[in-house]
Amino acid sequence: MRHQPPPGRKAQLSPEQMAQLPDLLAQGAQAFGFRGQVWTTARVVEMIRQQFGICYHRAHASRLLRRIKYSRQKPIQKARQRDEAAIAAWKEQRWPALKKPSGQKLRRSDSSPASLKSREIALTLMKKAKALELLAVNSNGFLS
């Protein structure tokens, strides 16, 4: 049998262009006009379009990165107005008061409406079962 080429479209990037990708990525995202050094798949697609004039989908850019043993990076999203000092103070002062002690399970209080309702239902069911049991006893005193 003769070797068949793999099915599907031929690669748009030539082997020489693929060999250039690690060097281009090593320059950093800022070298290509992006803010920050994180290479997302959207940025990789844009860089390939700028450098080689080839348009790829973001999902395929992820495959290209895996092929050259490079991982995409996902930026950490934090609010710009985030106050680290206030967060640290909340964690030290407020969080311990809200956190349950270790080993203690959360329970509904015994007087909560849900627990009272479930008790009423249980009592009603027990009364009905007792009544049915009494009806089932025949004249000899045995269950039928």
Q: Where are the domains of the chain?
A: 15-67, 111-144
Torsion of the alpha carbons at 16, 22, 28 and 31, rounded to the nearest 10: -10
Q: How confident is the model at residue 35 (pLDDT cuts 50, 70, 90)?
A: confident
> Which residue, among 57, 55, 61, 56, has the nearest Cα to 73 in the 3D structure?
61
pTM of the model: 0.49
Q: Using one digit for the tens of pLDDT, what is the confidence trace for 79-135? A: 778 888 888 888 888 888 777 666 666 565 555 666 667 778 877 887 777 766 665
Residue 84 main-chain phi, psi, to 5 deg: -60, -35
The amino acid sitting at 135 is: L
Residue labelled with tokens 């030290």: 92
